[in-house]
Chain A
């Protein structure tokens, strides 16, 4: 099928790589920022060892140090789930807009219009 045929992209000779601004998905939108923060929380919080390096209080017989980290397994999955849903919603909005009217609005532009 034609859609499967590979389309060679023209080489982009650029010393500074500044074409990134042209695609709206490249720019950070509020959704992306929130998703990013949620994911960052899932990275930074479990690494703050000082906040949980103790034996008490025990949970189900497990010292806090061990129980807390096992709980974080689920919390991290939760962070990923939240980020996934946020980004998927944004992607669908982007696709709907692209279908409806090409240049009519992008995730980044919507946010800036709301601020006016």
Chain B
């Protein structure tokens, strides 16, 4: 931990540069005649990615650097409820998206919808609701981008860059940011799609090697689990709870709902994020998403094993201490790799994580930019903006969101970044009734949905800031759980807020329908939700100029 790990750093730089070059070259990949001038081409890759590219893109999208750093760190610190819920989250995710992803693709390709806010606008004809969805999407995405940069920072710190000198700490991150911003600006969505392939291959190799090699070094899985169990049972009394233990090895009855609601709520929220929708809509036909639902679970297995590396670190006695001398659990995985692998392989692992930050950060910033350009800029300021203008605005906004995220990471305390991400998850989940239920039925009234959204947002935000008394013993993840009114147990705040959201929306819908208040215009027809590539009226390459049709 003293000095810089030269070999690891060298490998990290080489791989990073190679990937950056790929990012720039990606502009040439499967390009159409119009080049990357249209928002369609830049922001959606021209919508022609097949099953395998989509698989890598979605995987690169779903499994971010933050995931790889934070999940094992949570396992290391506080055990199963805080960390392992990521596995059932990814298990239930695929059956869930199976229900609605194909419909979303179909109606989007039939009507030129690019963002979730477009879908809502088309289905309900409500600019207010569409604006709410757009703003929520942008707000929820920004801290997520920031956390990818935190992931890069963790890797750089273990390599030895950082510490007391602010310059040493910030400059490498700044360089990574500039590279990211530059190739996203020039290549749009094609860049992360191409890099996702490299990133996923690297991650697979690193994790498979780690999981096969490391347990043997520490006495096998049985011994590792025993060590974890012992650590989690160690008393760690707090002022509020003198009986408290360090963490959770296997959840107790009082923690079942917390675990299940974290998994379910996170799964429901994931595809509400604009970047997930972006990746899904970039597929070339409606079934690609479903085919991916069958094969993406391979990533879940990887995530489970990665989480368990957090337990391996416990047995290995890893000490995640930052260059400032303070314990920083986010450093567990990089430190584990540096301690027990030869420097060159550690470098490869660090490159995998750093590149693993670039892909989602790029996609997230593109998606947030799309939202702003179409649903705020064009909807409210310049309805007659040309195709080229839209692409330009998107590029600039994408750059600004990354700059904002960088500022976030450099200026604010890490804990704040984590808290904002938790809030982001709670917020984005509140867009589910408007976006997804609308794909199946138009029963809900648009004003009721807006009210439900507002109630969910307020409840979720207030409760998350209120802290939590019935939670498991962990630091920031404690803010994601709160006692569920009426249940007496802790549950994921986002999920409780969603239920409240739905109840309010349902009640108000009944009232508004009884009062015969207009529910706006619906430009979609039932057949649109089953349209596939090659059908009449379904464009492979949509004309982005003009409004949604």
Contact residues of A with B, CB < 8 Å? 3-9, 11-17, 19-20, 22-23, 25-26, 36, 39-40, 42-43, 46-50, 53-55, 58, 60-63, 65-66, 69-70, 72-74, 76-77, 79-81, 83-84, 87-88
Q: Is the CB of B294 within 8 A of A70?
A: no
**Also in contact, A20 and B441, with CB within 8 A (given A42-B95, A80-B95):** yes
Among B220, B249, B250, B539, the one with the most A-chain Cβ atoms within 10 Å of its Cβ is B250
| Nearest residue, chain B, Cβ from A64 | B250
Q: Is the CB of A23 within 8 A of B88?
A: no
Contact partner, B95, options A20, A39, A74, Cβ 8 Å: A39
In the docked arrangement, what's the CA distance between A73 and B91, Å? 6
| Nearest residue, chain B, Cβ from A72 | B91
In the docked arrangement, what's the CA distance between A22 and B441, Å? 14
- The segment from B193-201, B333-341, B353-361, B517-525 found at the interface with A is B517-525
Within 8 A of A (CB), among B511-541: 513, 516, 518-519, 521-530, 534, 536-537, 539-541
Chain A neighbourhood of B220, CB < 8 A: 61
**Also in contact, A6 and B112, with CB within 8 A (given A22-B526, A70-B304, A73-B87):** yes
Q: Is the CB of B304 within 8 A of A80?
A: no
B300 within 8 A of A: yes
B507 within 8 A of A: no
Chain A neighbourhood of B521, CB < 8 A: 11-14
Known: A49-B259, A65-B80. 13 other contacts (CB 8 A): A6-B549, A9-B523, A11-B523, A12-B525, A23-B526, A23-B527, A25-B526, A26-B529, A42-B91, A46-B91, A70-B304, A80-B98, A81-B294
B293 within 8 A of A: yes
Q: Is the CB of B250 within 8 A of A65?
A: yes
Interface code B249-289, partner A: CB below 8 Å = 1, 0 otherwise? 11111011001100110000000000000000000000100
Chain A neighbourhood of B111, CB < 8 A: 9
Q: Is the CB of A69 within 8 A of B260?
A: no
In the docked arrangement, what's the CA distance between A73 and B98, Å? 15
Q: Is the interface of A mostly helix, strand, loop or mixed?
A: helix
| Nearest residue, chain B, Cβ from A51 | B256
Could you tell me the distance in whole angstroms from the C-beta of A16 to the nearest C-beta in chain B?
8
Within 8 A of A (CB), among B77-115: 80, 84, 87-88, 90-92, 94-96, 98-99, 110-112
Within 8 A of A (CB), among B283-308: 287, 290-291, 293-295, 297-298, 300-301, 304, 308
Q: Is the CB of A19 within 8 A of B92?
A: no
Q: Is the CB of A12 within 8 A of B91?
A: no
List the 8 closest A-B pairs by CB distance, nearest first: A17-B442, A23-B526, A61-B221, A42-B95, A77-B297, A61-B222, A49-B256, A39-B95
| Nearest residue, chain B, Cβ from A55 | B250
Q: Is the CB of B536 within 8 A of A3?
A: yes
In the docked arrangement, what's the CA distance between A60 and B98, Å? 32
Chain A neighbourhood of B539, CB < 8 A: 4, 6
Chain A neighbourhood of B441, CB < 8 A: 17, 20
**Also in contact, A73 and B297, with CB within 8 A (given A9-B525, A17-B442, A62-B225):** yes
B36 within 8 A of A: no
Chain A neighbourhood of B297, CB < 8 A: 73-74, 76-77, 80
In the docked arrangement, what's the CA distance between A58 and B226, Å? 12
Chain A neighbourhood of B65, CB < 8 A: none
**Also in contact, A12 and B250, with CB within 8 A (given A62-B221, A65-B80):** no
**Also in contact, A46 and B526, with CB within 8 A (given A6-B539, A77-B297, A80-B98):** no
Chain A neighbourhood of B384, CB < 8 A: none
Contact partner, B301, options A13, A55, A73, A79, Cβ 8 Å: A73
| Nearest residue, chain A, Cβ from B81 | A49
18 sampled A-B residue pairs with Cβ under 8 A = A6-B542, A11-B521, A11-B522, A17-B441, A17-B519, A40-B95, A42-B91, A42-B95, A46-B91, A47-B88, A61-B221, A65-B80, A69-B87, A69-B91, A73-B91, A77-B298, A80-B95, A83-B290
Q: Which range contains the number of B residues in contact with the other chain? A: 35 or more
Could you tell me the distance in whole angstroms from the C-beta of B84 to the nearest C-beta in chain A?
7
Q: Is the CB of B95 within 8 A of A69?
A: no
In the docked arrangement, what's the CA distance between A43 and B91, Å? 8
| Nearest residue, chain A, Cβ from B442 | A17
Q: Is the CB of A60 within 8 A of B523?
A: no
Q: Is the CB of A58 within 8 A of B524?
A: no
In the docked arrangement, what's the CA distance between A72 and B95, Å? 12
**Also in contact, A7 and B536, with CB within 8 A (given A61-B222, A63-B250, A73-B297):** yes
Chain B neighbourhood of A49, CB < 8 A: 251, 255-256, 259-260
Chain B neighbourhood of A66, CB < 8 A: 84, 225, 304, 308
Chain A neighbourhood of B253, CB < 8 A: 50, 53
B543 within 8 A of A: yes
B52 within 8 A of A: no
Q: Is the CB of A69 within 8 A of B256?
A: no
Chain B neighbourhood of A73, CB < 8 A: 87, 90-91, 297, 300-301, 304
Chain B neighbourhood of A84, CB < 8 A: 98, 287, 290-291, 293-294
Chain B neighbourhood of A40, CB < 8 A: 95
In the docked arrangement, what's the CA distance between A47 and B80, Å? 14
B443 within 8 A of A: yes
In the docked arrangement, what's the CA distance between A80 and B290, Å? 8
Chain A neighbourhood of B80, CB < 8 A: 65
Chain B neighbourhood of A61, CB < 8 A: 220-222, 225
Interface code B387-418, partner A: CB below 8 Å = 1, 0 otherwise? 00000000000000000000000000000000
Could you tell me the distance in whole angstroms from the C-beta of B136 to the nearest C-beta in chain A?
24
Chain A neighbourhood of B540, CB < 8 A: 4
Q: Is the CB of A25 within 8 A of B527?
A: yes
Q: Is the CB of A19 within 8 A of B525?
A: yes
